[in-house]
C-alpha cells in the first residue's frame, strides 16, 4: 500500500448542486419515464439510483423552471401573432388585433369510449399563423395529500394543492378554453375572433355563453340559424382547415406520459409534463436549452447539444423530402379469390337459443352507461346527423322518434321491415323533412326571444336504466325542460295560421278540442316522443 488517500469526483465539486442528480431527473421526465423505471434501469447496470424523496424534490424544482420557461415561450408566440395581425390589418373597432386559433383538449388517461372519469385534463390554444402555443391549461380533480388525510378523517395539513376542479371530467376542456378566451386581451392584447376545433366537445356553446367578447346582439333569426347550422357541420366544410396542429400537442403529450399509461394524477406530474410538452411544441428539439441554462448556469453538455442538432437536422431533412418528393398514390390490388377462412365468405355459424340470449344480454350490457358517460356522449354528439360520433352511438339503439312505430306494432305484424328501417344508415329526406331541418334553428331562436329562455344544442342522450334506448331532443333548456321542434312545409306554403291549419285538418298530428286548445294526437308517432323527456 502506498499510504496515500486520493478522492476522485465524477462531477465538478465546485457546483452548488449536484449536476448529475438533476440531469438524471431531467432525463427521466424528458423521455417520458418515471423514477421507478430509471431506478430499475440503473440497478441493472449495478449503478445506485436516487431515493424517492430526492427525485421528487428535484422534480419540483425543475417543474417551476419549466413552467417559467413555458410562460416566456407563450409570450414570444403571442407577440409574433400580434405583430402579424397588425400587419394584415386585422384590428377591431377598439384597436385590438384579432386572430384565428386552433383548439384541442385531452385527458390523463384513455376513455376507450366508455369511462370518462379522468382526474386530470389539459386544453391548448394555438395561433393558426405562427403554429405556436398561446395558452395551456390543466384541471385536476385529485390531490394525493388531501385524499390521504381525508380518508383518515384528519385535518388536512398545509401543502401545495394542485386540485383546481370539482366538475365532471368531460367539462374540463370547455372550461379551460373559456378561460383562455376571457384572458386573451389582458394577457396578450389579442382577441380570438375565430377558432378551429374538432366536433367532440361543447366548446362553441360554452364560448357563446361565457366569453365576454365576440358576440353581438340584434342579428336576424335566419342569419343566426345559418351560423348555428354551419358550426354543427364545421368538421365537414371543405376549407382545408383542420386542428391537426392542436392534435399534435396531444400526440407530444402522450410521448411524455407513455401513451397515457402512467398514473400521473397524484400531485403535479401531469401538469408538469403538459408544460414540457408546450416547450417542445414551441421550441422543437432545442427546448432543453433555455431552462437548462436557468438551472445549471451554463449551456447543455456536448452530448445533449449533439443530440439536439442531430434531431433538428433529421427533422429538416424529413420536411424537405416531404416537400420535394411527390407522394405516390398507392394502388389497391383486388382479387376474385374467395376464402372461407376469413372475410365475408366464412362459413356461417348458427347460434343456439341460449347463445343468442347471451349475445343479446352482452349487447345490452355494452350499451349501458352511467350518468357521467351519458353526459359525455351527449356533448360529443352535438350536431346529430352531421356528427359521426352521433351515428355510431345511435346505431344499435332505439331512439324516441321510433318509439311510436315499435309500441303500435301489432303482435301478428312481421317486424322485418321495421327492423331494416331502424338499422338502415341511408339518409332519409323529403321536401318536408328538409324544410324542417333548415328552419329548426329559426324556430328555436324565435322561441328563445319570446320566452326569454336560452336553448342549448343537444346531442344523443342514452337512457340510464336501459342503454338500448336513446333520445335526441332539438334543444335543452335546463334539467326540467327540453325543446322539440316541428316545422310544417304545408302550413308555411299555405299561409294559414296554425289554428286554421288544424281546423282544416292540414296537420295530421294535431287536433283541436272543444276549448280550442291544440294538442298532439295520442295515436300519432309524435306523441310517443314524450319518452325523450324521461331519458334526458
pLDDT band of residue 327 (cuts 50, 70, 90) is low
Task: Band the pLDDT of 217: cuts 50, 70, 90.
Answer: very low
Q: Are residues 292 and 397 in the same domain?
A: no
410 occurs within a structural domain: yes
Specify burial of residue 134 (Cβ count, 10 A radius: 0-12, 13-18, 19+): buried
Residue 170 in any domain: the answer is: yes
Backbone angles phi, psi at 324, to 5 degrees: -95, -25
Whether residue 376 sits in one domain with residue 248 = no
Per-residue pLDDT band at 376 (split at 50, 70, 90): very high
Query: pLDDT, tens digit, for every residue of 349-367?
Result: 577 888 888 888 988 999 9
| Structural domain contains residue 186 | yes
- Comparing C-alpha atoms, which of 229, 297, 236, 278 is closest to residue 14? 297
Q: Are 159 and 293 within one domain?
A: yes
* Residues spanned by the domain of 423: 369-535
Shared domain for 403 and 497, answered yes or no, is yes
Task: Classify residue 436: in a domain, yes or no.
Answer: yes
Q: Which has the closest alpha carbon to 235: 120, 387, 96?
A: 387
SS3 for 309-326, per residue? HHHHHHHHHHHHHHHHCC
Q: Do residue 407 and residue 278 come from a single domain? A: no
Per-residue pLDDT, 370: 93
Instruction: Point out the domain boundary residue: 301, 330, 348.
Output: 301
Asked whether residue 133 is domain-assigned, the answer is yes
Tens-place pLDDT, residues 268-288: 677 788 888 888 888 888 888
Statement to judge: residues 282 and 427 lie in one domain = no
Do 278 and 375 lie in one domain? The reply is: no
Whether residue 462 has pLDDT greater than 90: yes
CA–CA separation, 445 vs 453, rounded Å?
10
Residue pair 287/279 in contact by the 8 Å Cβ criterion: yes
- The total number of structural domains that make up the chain: 2
Q: Are residues 173 and 292 in the same domain?
A: yes
Are residue 59 and residue 173 in the same domain, yes or no? yes
Q: Which of 185-199, 343-357, 451-465 has the lowest mean pLDDT?
A: 343-357
Higher pLDDT, 326 or 394: 394
Q: Mean per-residue pLDDT for 64-76?
A: 89
In a shared domain, residues 282 and 380: no
Provide the 8-state DSSP code for 331: P
Tell me phi and psi for residue 359, to 5 degrees: -65, -40
Contact (CB, 8 A) for 149 and 98:
no
Q: Which of 5-9, 173-177, 190-194, 299-303 has the lowest mean pLDDT?
A: 5-9
Domain endpoint, select from 301, 321, 353: 301
Identify the bridge partners of residue 24 per DSSP, sorted by sequence position. none
**Are 252 and 154 members of one domain?**
yes
* CATH number (domain holding residue 461): 3.90.320
Is it the case that residue 368 has pLDDT exceeding 90?
yes
Distances (CA, A) of 131 to 192, 193, 243, 427: 14, 16, 10, 38
Per-residue confidence band for 112, with pLDDT thresholds at 50, 70 and 90: very low
Q: Is the dihedral of CA 222, 223, 228, 234 positive or negative?
A: positive
391 and 280 within one domain = no
Report the pLDDT value the prediction gives residue 308, as an integer from 0 to 100: 85
Domain limit, last residue, from 301, 322, 357: 301
> Is residue 343 domain-resident?
no
- Mean pLDDT, residues 171-189: 86
Q: How does DSSP assign 379-446, residue by residue?
A: HHTTTGGG-HHHHHHHTTSEEGGGHHHHHH--TTS--HHHHHHHH--S----HHHHHHHHHHHHHHHH
What is the pTM assigned to this prediction? 0.51
Q: Is 157 helix (H, G, I), strand (E, B) or coil?
A: coil
Within-domain flag for 278: yes
- By three-state DSSP, how is residue 195 classified? strand
Q: How many residues does the chain have?
A: 536
466 domain-assigned: yes
Best CA proximity match to 74, nearest among 136, 30, 123: 136
Amino acid at each position: 500500500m502506498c499510504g496515500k488517500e486520493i478522492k476522485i469526483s465524477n462531477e465538478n465539486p465546485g457546483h452548488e448542486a449536484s449536476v448529475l442528480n438533476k440531469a438524471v431527473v431531467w432525463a427521466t421526465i424528458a423521455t417520458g419515464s418515471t423514477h421507478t423505471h430509471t431506478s430499475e434501469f440503473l440497478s441493472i447496470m449495478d449503478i445506485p439510483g436516487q431515493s424517492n424523496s430526492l427525485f421528487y424534490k428535484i422534480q419540483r424544482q425543475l417543474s417551476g423552471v419549466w413552467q417559467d420557461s413555458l410562460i416566456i415561450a407563450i409570450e414570444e408566440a403571442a407577440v409574433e401573432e400580434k405583430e402579424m395581425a397588425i400587419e394584415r390589418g386585422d384590428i377591431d373597432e377598439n384597436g385590438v388585433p384579432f386572430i384565428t386559433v386552433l383548439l384541442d383538449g385531452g385527458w390523463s388517461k384513455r376513455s376507450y369510449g366508455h369511462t370518462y372519469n379522468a382526474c386530470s385534463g389539459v386544453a391548448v390554444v394555438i395561433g393558426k399563423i405562427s403554429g405556436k402555443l398561446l395558452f395551456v391549461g390543466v384541471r385536476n380533480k385529485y390531490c394525493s395529500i388531501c385524499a390521504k388525510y381525508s380518508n383518515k378523517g384528519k385535518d388536512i395539513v398545509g401543502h401545495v394543492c394542485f386540485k383546481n376542479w370539482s366538475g365532471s371530467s368531460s367539462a374540463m376542456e370547455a372550461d379551460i378554453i373559456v378561460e383562455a378566451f376571457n384572458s386573451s386581451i389582458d394577457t396578450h392584447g389579442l382577441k380570438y375572433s375565430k377558432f378551429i376545433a374538432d366536433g367532440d366537445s361543447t366548446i362553441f356553446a360554452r364560448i357563446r355563453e361565457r366569453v365576454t367578447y365576440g358576440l353581438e346582439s340584434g342579428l336576424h333569426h335566419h342569419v343566426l340559424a345559418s351560423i348555428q347550422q354551419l358550426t354543427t357541420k364545421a368538421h365537414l366544410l371543405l376549407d382545408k382547415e383542420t386542428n391537426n396542429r392542436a392534435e399534435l400537442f396531444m400526440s407530444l403529450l402522450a410521448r411524455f406520459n407513455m401513451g397515457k399509461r402512467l398514473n400521473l394524477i397524484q400531485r403535479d406530474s401531469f401538469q408538469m409534463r403538459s408544460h414540457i410538452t408546450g416547450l417542445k411544441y414551441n421550441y422543437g428539439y432545442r427546448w432543453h436549452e433555455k431552462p437548462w441554462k436557468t438551472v445549471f448556469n451554463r449551456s447543455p453538455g456536448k452530448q445533449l447539444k449533439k443530440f439536439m442538432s442531430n434531431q433538428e437536422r433529421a427533422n429538416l431533412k424529413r420536411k424537405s423530402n416531404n416537400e420535394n418528393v411527390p407522394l405516390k398514390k398507392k394502388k389497391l390490388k383486388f382479387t376474385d379469390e374467395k376464402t372461407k377462412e376469413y372475410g365475408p365468405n366464412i362459413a356461417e355459424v348458427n347460434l343456439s337459443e341460449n347463445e343468442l340470449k347471451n349475445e343479446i344480454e352482452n349487447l345490452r350490457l355494452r350499451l349501458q352507461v352511467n350518468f357521467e358517460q351519458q353526459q359525455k356522449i351527449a356533448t360529443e354528439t352535438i350536431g346529430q346527423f352531421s356528427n359521426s360520433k352521433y351515428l355510431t352511438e345511435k346505431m344499435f339503439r332505439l331512439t324516441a322518434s321510433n318509439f311510436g312505430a315499435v309500441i303500435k306494432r301489432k303482435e301478428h305484424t312481421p317486424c322485418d321491415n321495421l327492423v331494416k328501417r331502424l338499422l338502415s344508415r341511408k339518409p332519409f329526406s323529403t321536401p318536408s323533412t328538409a324544410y324542417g331541418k333548415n328552419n329548426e334553428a329559426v324556430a328555436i331562436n324565435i322561441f328563445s326571444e319570446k320566452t326569454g329562455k336560452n336553448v342549448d344544442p343537444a346531442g344523443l342522450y342514452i337512457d340510464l336504466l336501459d342503454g338500448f334506448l336513446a333520445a335526441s331532443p332539438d334543444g335543452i333548456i335546463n334539467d326540467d325542460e327540453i325543446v322539440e321542434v316541428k316545422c310544417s312545409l304545408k302550413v308555411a306554403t299555405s299561409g294559414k295560421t296554425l289554428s286554421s291549419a288544424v281546423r282544416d285538418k292540414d296537420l295530421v298530428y294535431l287536433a283541436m278540442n272543444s276549448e280550442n286548445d291544440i294538442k298532439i294526437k295520442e295515436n300519432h308517432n309524435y306523441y310517443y316522443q314524450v319518452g325523450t323527456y324521461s331519458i334526458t
